[in-house]
Every structure is written in structure tokens, then in C-alpha cells.
Amino acid sequence: MSKEKNASQAESTPKKERISVLESIRRRTGLLVGIVGLALVIFILESLLGSGSSIFGGDEQTTVGSINGKKIDRNEFVNRMEGQLNNYRQRNQNNDVDEQTRASIIDNIWQQYIVDLAIRPQFDKTGIVVGEDELYDRVVANPVPYIIQQLSDQQTGKVNEQFAKADGSLDLVKWKQAVQNLPADQEQVLLGMEENVKTTRYFEKFRMLVYKGMYATTAELKAKVLSRTTNFNFSYIIKRFDAVSDSSVKVSESDIEKYYKENAYRFQNPETTRSIEYVAFNVVPSAEDIAAIEKEALRAAEEFKGKTPGEDSVYMAQESENGEIKIENFTRKTMIVRDSSIYTSAPGTVFGPYNEGAYFKIYKLTAVNSLADSVEVRHILIGTNDPQTQQPKRSKESAKRSADSLLTLLKNKQADFETLVATVSDDMGSKAKGGSYGWWNETANWVEPFKNAGLMGAKGNISVVESQFGYHIIEVLNVSNTRHNSYKIAQIFKAIQASDETNQRIFSEASQFAGENNTAELFDKAVDTKKLTKRVADNIKEGDRQLPGLEQAREMVRWVYQAEKGDVNIFTLQNKHVVAKLSGIRNKGVLPLEEVKEEVTRLAIQQKKAEMFKEEFNKAGGSSKSLDALANALRLEIRSQEGLNGENASIQGLGNDNGIAGTVLGSKAGVMSKPIVTENGVAVVLVNSVNPGNTNTDLLAEKTVVEQGLSSRSDYEVFNALKELSAIEDHKSRID
């Protein structure tokens, strides 16, 4: 295998080379596996997120970006995506892939391109290699967890039977035999998994190489300790920039341009973004809509009264929003029905409908139960699933027969409860406690049948109840002396939402506004004239799918990256119609002067103030070495501070001011500084005294702390530095 590859070769290993590696490993007993539907999972370094310019070029339909000059072909990207989507569907036995999963797969593929084209070439430059023997060991002889995961059932997590020992672990003999008999049509799956292990190993070695280079010398450690323990006591005067209004300082266009050219680094935009201004026409129900929904709720409430307990659930599913069946227990403290007569009403009484904001709600009292305030029970669970693996263990019918038989034995005193808990109970949580969880009350997070058997039972009762876990044999050991009523309430929800007619009317209003105000100037004027609320969304990235306050905004974001500045368009989003104006375009790189002119002007004024203030300081100071005299001449207050050091460099009253802090830390006692320009103004500093630091400390402990800090940042900072040094244009959103 070659040790050096250039960026264009790094995109993928040539097929001939990959096949030769496979054949070499096969001679050692082979690699992998003929499993139908086995997932190919691509290694992703999560910290690597693509970014870059998003100006659509002429190849918009054929590429999804470029990395270090290598254009990413759209068809190739889509083929990779479809392969991973198919694997996802096979693993989940489901043809549906939600938007979030699809977006995650697209991000993962893009990140893999970054790994291949921006990161992997750096591995080759360092001389890192992953040899065949090393790869064989990690894939065949001592498979890494990733390989074992790929040989396991995605639903259960257990190693597939054809590769498993009796105890369920991986059988290496079967594994090697499978490789020797690997069919040709499975080679691509195998090669992908082999590449995954290889890439992972490259990263491990590169990380270790960087980590081993992270160290602190004795001189560095002593300097760090000295900086932390040396304390400076000082005084200073400062004329702040806000002492003179900006309007009183005049700067010319040439001043602004000069500042911009000399400080271009300040206006670097790390990634392409857009900004919009918009007005939202919210779709809210009209008074007529609310009246119609209330009438419908009144009908449902009247019909609900005539339903029997056996009919309630079907009727709730028929009438409630999204077919929801909601039946809950409440006490006097937690009751949600606003009518206090519910406490004296008979089961079957219907309350409402009530307008509760988003819904009209109808409540039906279905039962009133007397519950103990607290209870202690013990139980034996005859579960339908194995408690260790959660795999099916027995049928419900079999579990019921076993539970009934044990109940008979217990009632006839032919068996001991604790013995049965220890020998047959499938509840691991209470097994060691004789089947008990101690005292508990109605707030306990138990399934309702279990909870009711305890709270409604009498001391000494033994019964069998069914739950989703199987059948419980429950004995009530103790109940509290006090009881309370629990009210079972069935609920029907009728959503209060706008009708189609109302939605169409509001859409027409938004469309008219967009049509009449289809330029930036007209849009701004109409917003002011009509006194509409204008909202702003800044820093919109090409891959964004929602914006603050605007969900499912993918179509809008796509338009934002195709439109010209000042364009206006209308969009229909969830519960609102939005008219938006593209107000700003900021591309990656140094921003044009017109984009940042306001900020440049402010900084140019600040620079001119600094020049003026320094001249004032110099004239007032003359040959004087006294801070008092200078302060009097300039009519400035002398401020003093003690205990400034390299780890506590905040300036009282100013906060973070690196100009003052740096000057103090670099000065000797008794020496007054020249006028210095700081973040807050122009200052002069006088160090009054210095309390020397002490380096007689445990440098080994200091070394450990420093190097741990360095290593903890190494992954993120090194890999992001490699990414930032690469030329990356990310247009993967074109796949949508």
C-alpha cells in the first residue's frame, strides 16, 4: 500500500488496490461475511462540519461542492446517499425515512468527503500507514466492536446465529469460514467495512501522534506558575472613547477606506450567510371558525353522555384530535376539570366543552375509586419476555396459566412467597428484596394495573393482574390508615384552528402585499406605512432547514440562496404566510466595504479619537513623571487595583481590557507607561509594587494539568485547523 497520496487520489482507494488487499487477507483466512442486508456504516468524525461559499455556479446541477479543488459529483453523492438510505430501511424494516434521518445521512456523507479529501492526505504526509497484518488482526483475529456490531442483529443487538457460539458471543472459527466462502456480490460490503476499520485506525494513530506531541517544558511550567503567583498593584488613568461623542469626530471617505484596507483581517467572514427581513401573516381562527368548532364540540359532548363505558374509547378516538384516547386519574389537588361539582357527580357525567386556548375540551367522569394514601406490596412477575435479553420467553396464555397455578399454591399455603420470588420472578428490580419496593403512593411510576391492585386492595389480598410485562401475583402487605378518592377522567380534544376559508383569505392578503411591494424600497415603505411588525433573520446558512420562529423553512432558505439582494417573495409555512425580502448577502472571505461600512466608520472614528487623546496626554505630561500631575492636567480620576496576575487579569470598572492588563504585567515597579490605546480608550499605567511569585511548587502536578488541557483540545483544534486550511465549498443542500 502506498504511503503517499495526493488530494485527488485520496478520494477513494482504487478498486484494484482494494481487491488485492482483500485477496491478501483472504489468504490469511479471509475477512468478512455474506450477510444479506448487512449495514455499511461510514466512519464519521463528528467535529468536522462542512462550510464554505454557497454562490451557485454554472455547475449547480452537477456538483454539490468542492474540497481542495476536487468537485463533488452530484450523481456520485446521490448514489452514496441512496445506498445508506437502503441500509437504514433494511435495518429498521421500514420504508419510511424521516427528514431528520435523511439530513443526518447527507451530513455524514459530506463529512466523509472532508475526511477523504482534506484530512486523509495529511495522514500520508506524516508517514502513517495501516498495514495488512494490522488490518487482519482488527477485522479477523481480534475483531473490533464495529465488526461485531455489523455481525449482529440490528433489532436485538445479538450476534447473528450463523456467527455465534452457544453463549451468543462471536465464534471466530465461523467468522473465518464465512470469509473464505464470501460470494463475489458481497465484496463491496466487505470492502466498505474494511475501509471503515482502516480509516478508524488512521485517525487513532494520527490522534496519538498529535497527543504525544502535546507537552510542556520545565521553563514553560515555571513561567506559568510565576505568572499566576506574581501579583501587581497598580494605578491608572484612562480617557474613555465614550467621553467624546462620535458625531463630533469627522472622518472622510478616504479615512474609512484607509482603515478598511489596513484592517481587512477584522472583516473576515468565516462562512457564507444570508439575511432576510419579513412580515408574517398569521393564520388564526376567526370568530366564525371558533363558533363552528364550539357547536361541533357541543354536539360531541351531548353524544358522549349517551355512550357506555365500553363505547367510550371508540368514541374518543372518533371525535378527538388525531384520534387520541386519553383517560387519566386525578385527585382534588391535581384535578383539571374546572367545575367543582365533579366531586359529587355520578360516573358518566360529562363536563364542558370548555374553551382552553388551543382546544375545546370535553371531560367525562368514568369512575371514582377510593385509594389508600400509601401501600406496601410484594409481587412475583411471570413475564412474557426474558428479563436479561428482552426476547420473547413465553406466550401470554402460558404466563397466565403459570400465574394462576402459583396463586392457587400461595392461597393454599403450599408454597412460600419469598421462595417463589427468588426462583421464578422475572422482575430483576425487586428480586433481591423479596418482591417488594417498599412503601409507595399514587405518584409512583408503576403501570396502572399494578398500582391499582395495591392502592385499591386490602391488607392480605393476593391477586393476579395483567400488565404489558406479563402477569403479576400481588400480595398487599400493608396499607395506610388514610384514604382518598381518585377520579378517572376521559377527555376529548377539539382543536381550535382556522378554516380553509379563513386560511385562503389570509393568504390572499399576504399575496396582495407581496405583489404590490415586490421591491426592497416598496417593501420597506409598506411596512412603515401599514405599521407592520418587521422581523429579521440573520446568519442564514445554505443548509438550514428552519429559522428562528419559522419551522419547515427549507423552501425559503433555498430561495434565499438563489435570489438577488432586494428580491421579495411569499412563502406558506406552518400556520402563517410569510413575505420576505433578501436584505443581506455575506459571502465567505473579506466582506466588501459596503457590507461593513457602518462598523468600519465606527472603528475609524475610534482610531481618530485615540490619536487625539494620545496627543492630549503627551502635551499634558511634558517631562512630568507623576501620574498625579498628569491626572490633574487632564482632569481624570486615578484608579487603583491590587492583585492583578496572569490568571486574574480583569480590570475593575472596565472588565476585559487587554491593553491595560498586558502593560501592567510587562512593567516594573515605579515606572509610568507611555499613553497606550486599549479596548476602552487611552490610558497611562503606573505599577506601584510587585509581589514576587513562587515557583517552589509541584511542577509534576502542574505538568499533568497543563498537558491534560492541551490533549483535551488537540482533536478539535487540529482537525478543525486542517479543515479551515482546506478550500471547501459546501452545497450539499442542493441534494434536497
Q: Which three-class secondary structure string do you get for 10-23?
A: HHCCCHHHHHHHHH
Cα 650 versus chain centre, distance: 33
Peptide bond into 353 cis (omega under 30): yes
Pick the closest to residue 378 from 445, 470, 444, 460 (CA basis): 460
Q: What is the mean pLDDT of residues 230-237?
A: 95
Tell me the pLDDT band of 580, cut-offs 50, 70 and 90. very high
Per-residue model confidence (pLDDT) at position 334: 92
Which residue has better confidence, 577 or 707?
Answer: 577
Instruction: Say which residues have a Cβ less than 8 Å from residue 579's Cβ, sequence separation at least 6.
Output: 278, 279, 281, 510, 513, 514, 517, 523, 568, 569, 570
pLDDT greater than 70 at residue 10: no
What are the grid coordinates assigned to 633, written together? 492636567
Q: What is the mean pLDDT of residues 149-162?
A: 77
Tell me the pLDDT band of 13, cut-offs 50, 70 and 90. very low
pLDDT greater than 70 at residue 9: no
Tell me the pLDDT band of 111, cut-offs 50, 70 and 90. confident
pLDDT greater than 70 at residue 66: yes
Strand order of the β-sheet with 273-282 is: 535-540, 273-282, 576-586, 568-573
Tell me the pLDDT band of 698, cut-offs 50, 70 and 90. confident
How open is the CA angle 645-649-653, to the nearest 5 degrees?
A: 130
Per-residue model confidence (pLDDT) at position 609: 96
pLDDT greater than 80 at residue 682: yes
In the chain, % of residues over pLDDT 90: 53
Per-residue model confidence (pLDDT) at position 91: 63
Which residue has better confidence, 357 or 213?
Answer: 357
What are the grid coordinates assigned to 537, written together? 433573520
Cα→Cα distances 339→301, 347, 365, Å: 15, 15, 12
Residues in the chain: 736
pLDDT greater than 50 at residue 45: no
pLDDT greater than 90 at residue 569: yes
Tell me the pLDDT band of 60, cut-offs 50, 70 and 90. low
Average pLDDT, the chain: 85
Pick the closest to residue 406 from 417, 398, 395, 418 (CA basis): 417
Cα 489 versus chain centre, distance: 37
The answer to whether the beta carbons of residues 321 and 494 sit under 8 Å apart is yes
Instruction: Say which residues have a Cβ less than 8 Å from residue 65's Cβ, sequence separation at least 6.
Output: 50, 52, 71, 72, 110, 113, 728, 729, 730, 731, 732
What are the grid coordinates assigned to 520, written together? 426592497
